[in-house]
Amino acid sequence: MKTPAIVLAERVLKIKESRAFDIRSSVMPTWCPGCGYFGINQGLNACIQQLELPHHEVVIVSGIGCAGRYPFFTHTYGLHTVHGRTLPAATGVKLANPNLTVYAVGGDGDGLAIGGGHLPHVCRRDVNINYLLFDNSVYGLTKGQPSPSSPLGTKTKASPAGTIDRPLNATLLALTYGASFVARLFAGDPKGITAALVEGTKHPGFAIFHIYTTCVTFDKVFKTWANLKKWVHPLPEDHDPTDRRQAFDQVLEDDFSLGIIYKRPY
């Protein structure tokens, strides 16, 4: 008769043998409990496993923000660079060694504010890197300032009277800049993330994954788990991802439809 301890030990052994968690590094993530980033992490890890990418042939490039720490938590090579320069650094990595699979990760501040000038060009260049944009509409690491995707009127310590700038729509931007693969996802659906990531990784050009996520510590009103779960829904069944005009229409009408919105047929 197996004691609970033995059952547990066997299970751990099984997990170890399955190597399912090898993708995780020995460093525990520093994110707050309940942070949406855990879900994204799960999704990307599963993607790497599913594609059976050798871990030493994957490079994760990150910038500054809560997402910046990402490479430390994954058992792949990493490059933690400066604020906003994730995309050009990732470009350098991929062009230098095309055999590596490159994931760039960053928040909405890193990607749309200081890094905003690089987005159009990485779309134009269409280098085969995969960009995960963690959009929680707040600057979490610096404790709660508004971000480029915060809605009008967002009240924070930095904007007590509410923001007066209108928010950017990252998906729309990516489409406008001519990105060849655009997906919109939700941190609460790691499986959906994995599915899109697998397809996007296989896509031979630049792939951007605009992922809605939460900041449980600093955003209690907008992108909460409750709100997001309520708002998000899949793309219509008949959505044709190869139709760019349709993609624009979809995104202009609907902020929360999820899936692969556009994929350029080569």
Partner 1 sequence: MPVVDVTVEVCGMAGDGTIAAGGLINEAMSQIGFSVLGFDSYPAEIRGFGRCVTHSRIGAGEIHSPGERTHVLISLDDEQSKSRVPFLAENAAVFFDSNPPAYIRENKSLVAEVEPSVLLYGMPFRDLATDVSGSARGRNLTALGGFCAVCGAAPEVFRRVIAEKFEAKGDKVLKVNLKCFDAGFRYAAKNFSDRMLKTFAVPMKADGPAKVMMSGNEAIGKAALDANLRLYFGYPITPATPIMEFLAAHLPLRGGRVVQMEDEIASLAAVLGSFHVGSRAMTATSGPGFALMTELITHGVMAEVPAVILDVQRGGPSTGLPTKTEQSDLHAAVFGGPGDSCRIVIAPTSVAECFRYTVRSFQLAEKYQIPVIVLTDFYLGNRVENLPIPEATEDEKADGNLYPDASAKDAYKRYLLTDSGISPRALPGMEGFIFAATGLEHTESGAPNYGPDIHTAMTEKRHRKIQRALADLPAPVEFPGPAGRDVGVIGWGSTFGSILDAVNQARARGRNVGALKITSIFPFHALEIREFMGRCDEVLIPELNYEGQLANLIGHLHRKDVVRLNRVTGIPFPPSAILSKIEDLVAER
Minimal distance in Å, beta carbon 233 to partner 1?
A: 36
Contact flag: residue 89 with partner 1 (CB under 8 A): yes
Contact flag: residue 61 with partner 1 (CB under 8 A): yes
3-state class of 134 per DSSP? strand
Contact flag: residue 123 with partner 1 (CB under 8 A): no
Could you give the count of Cα atoms lying within 13 Å of 112 in the half-sphere of its Cβ? 27
Contact flag: residue 264 with partner 1 (CB under 8 A): no
Q: Are 110 and 84 spatial neighbours (Cβ–Cβ below 8 Å)?
A: yes
Minimal distance in Å, beta carbon 180 to partner 1?
A: 18
Indicate which single residue of 47, 69, 140, 190 sits in contact with partner 1 (rule: CB under 8 A). 69
The neighbouring-strand residues paired with 73 are none
Indicate which single residue of 13, 14, 15, 54 sits in contact with partner 1 (rule: CB under 8 A). 54
Q: Are 261 and 208 spatial neighbours (Cβ–Cβ below 8 Å)?
A: no
Contact flag: residue 53 with partner 1 (CB under 8 A): no
Q: Which stretch, 8-16, 52-60, 152-160, 176-184, contacts partner 1 (CB under 8 A)? A: 52-60
Please identify, using beta-carbon distances, which residue of 141 and 232 lies nearer to partner 1.
141
Please identify, using beta-carbon distances, which residue of 123 and 196 lies nearer to partner 1.
123
CA angle 24, 26, 30 (to 5 degrees): 85
Q: What is the DSSP annotation of 43-90?
A: HHHHHHHHTT--GGGEEEEE-SSGGGGGGGGBSSEEEE--TT-HHHHH
Helix (H), strand (E), coil (C) string for 92-115? HHHHHCCCCEEEEEEEHHHHHCCC
Contact flag: residue 120 with partner 1 (CB under 8 A): yes
Distance (Å) of CA 46 to CA 2, 93, 127, 144, 184: 31, 23, 23, 30, 18
Phi, psi of 12 (to 5 degrees): -60, -45
Minimal distance in Å, beta carbon 222 to partner 1?
A: 29
Q: Which stretch, 12-20, 89-97, 195-203, 205-213, contacts partner 1 (CB under 8 A)? A: 89-97
Indicate which single residue of 32, 42, 53, 85 sits in contact with partner 1 (rule: CB under 8 A). 85
CA angle 73, 74, 79 (to 5 degrees): 90
Q: Which stretch, 58-66, 141-149, 199-207, 209-217, contacts partner 1 (CB under 8 A)? A: 58-66
Q: Which residues of this chain interact with partner 1, rule CB under 8 A?
A: 25, 27, 54-57, 59-61, 69, 71-72, 75-82, 85, 87-97, 99-100, 117-118, 120-121, 125
